[in-house]
Structure 1
Amino acid sequence: MALEDTLKQLNQLDINDIDFSRVGVWPLAGRVALLVIVSALIVGAGYYFLISDRYQQLEFAQNKEKELFVEFEKKSFEAANLDAYREQLAEMEETFGALLQQLPKDTEVPGLLEDIDEYGRGSGLTIQEIALEEEQVGEFYVELPIRIEVQGGYHEFGAFVSGIAGMPRIVTLHDFTIETSKDGGALLNMAINAKTYRYKEQEGEG
């Protein structure tokens, strides 16, 4: 019966009649209601300030765990393939060294110009000009532009270009123009820009 009496008192409770200064003499139902409200506030505050913060820390830890797992997988893959990476690195260094050997040094540039001249004459062309132009300094290499002007026919031009492409030194060809001869003959004039390269560190070598 005590529970029924308490519930009955709660139903009859009027919030306008509540006097917080006399909590001690409140009916049992009022004190029970106040205790329930205070308990709920304490639990809510505790959840907000403690449990909610713990959830955020847990979420952060879970995200960190995922990042570390991905990094672990990456490191494991690299470790499993370390020997293959070393072999590839050795091959790249060997290839790079071979390419450097194809870059002419300062002392070899005059000989390179002579080789171009020989390829031109050997292809049946008339050499009008082969001139080394101003160097262009890049981050890792120095670019050496060469201006070439020759006279001949299309077949001779093709043989000349093929010869230059097959040279042991790296030489690239750019921006060619072909015009008819000014004297009105059957020969053509071709101007083409060739480029070779020198490894930049060689500038300080003796």
Structure 2
Amino acid sequence: MDFKDPKSQKIILGVLLGFLALYFWHNRIYSKNNQKIQAKETQYESILTNLKNVELKAKSFENLKSEYESLLERYKTVELLLPEEKQVPLLLTQMHQGAQTSGITIREIAPRATYPLSFYNASDFSIQMTGNYHEFGNFLSRIANFPFIANISDLNLTSGLSAGKKKETVQATFKMTTYFIKEEERLKKVQF
């Protein structure tokens, strides 16, 4: 190739100008736009990932919501056994009905201390009653079927004398404990 030939010089000059134009195009236009394109692609991937996460969370949210509703229903059935507040009138009504149907005579019901336990409070009552053994057993079975939890402890049975027509062969004293949920532990319904 002859460099002194004007035709060769034009070709070399054209190739150099082409490389120079390509170099400026790459550095000035393509690189800047390529960085923007890569940034947009990264942003697109991030948005797409977030969208998929949101879709998965929405599906799991629906599952969690239905699970929450079923657990709330189960909680409400258990809550009947462990009321939200101390229910002395209900206790007295249940005791009176149990005593009437079993034939026991309640001599005394004395409220004792209310004290906190883990997530609930306990209330003690001291109870004295008279009747016969079968009536007392019937009464205890009625206590076991109260619509709330009631425990009997410190049971003391003594033989009693018959009084009048009715034979009261047993005098019983015991402590009954009922339970209710602490105010700060009550379940609050979540709004979705």
Normalising by structure 1, we get a TM-score of 0.49
Give the 3 Å change call, closer, same or farther, for CA 164–93 of structure 1 in structure 2: same
**Matching of residue 195 in structure 1 with residue 177 in structure 2:** yes
Matched residue of 1:116: which SS?
Answer: helix
- C-alpha contact 2:157 2:171 (8 A) present in aligned 1: yes
Q: CA deviation at 1:196?
A: 1.0
Alignment of 1:45-194 (within 5 A): 93-106=72-85, 108-181=87-160, 187-194=169-176
CA distance in 2, matches of 1:201, 1:106: 8
| Cα drift, residue 153 of structure 1 | 0.8
Q: For residue 179 of structure 1, give the secondary structure of its aligned residue in structure 2.
A: strand
Secondary structure at the counterpart of residue 135 of structure 1: strand
CA distance in 2, matches of 1:134, 1:203: 20
- SS in structure 2 at match of 1:134: strand
For residue 194 of structure 1, what is the amino acid of its counterpart?
M
- What CA deviation, in whole Å up to 9, does each residue of 1:2-21 have, x standing for no partner? xxxxxxxxxxxxxxxxxxxx
Letter in 2 for 1:189: Q
Deviation at 1:108, TM superposition (A): 2.9
For structure 1, which runs of at least 5 residues remain unmatched after alignment? 1-81
Cα 1:105–1:128 shift into 2, 3 Å? farther
| 8 Å CA contact 2:84, 2:183 repeated in 1 | no
Aligned sequence identity (%): 29
Kindly tell me: are residues 202 and 124 of structure 1, through their superposed partners in 2, closer, same or farther at Cα, counting changes over 3 Å?
farther
Separation of aligned partners in 1, 2:96 and 2:185: 26
- CA spacing shift, 1:153–1:107, aligned 2, 3 Å: same
Task: Tell me which of the two structures has the higher relative contact order, counting C-alpha pairs closer than 8 angstroms and 6 or more residues apart.
Answer: 2
Preserved CA contact (<8 Å) 1:151 1:189: yes
* Structure 2: tracts of 5 or more residues without a match: 1-59, 187-192
How much does 1:173 deviate?
1.8
State the SS of the aligned residue for 2:76. helix
Structure 1 or 2, whichever has the larger Rg, is 1
Deviation at 1:138, TM superposition (A): 1.3
Between the aligned partners of 2:80 and 2:184, the Cα distance in structure 1 is 11
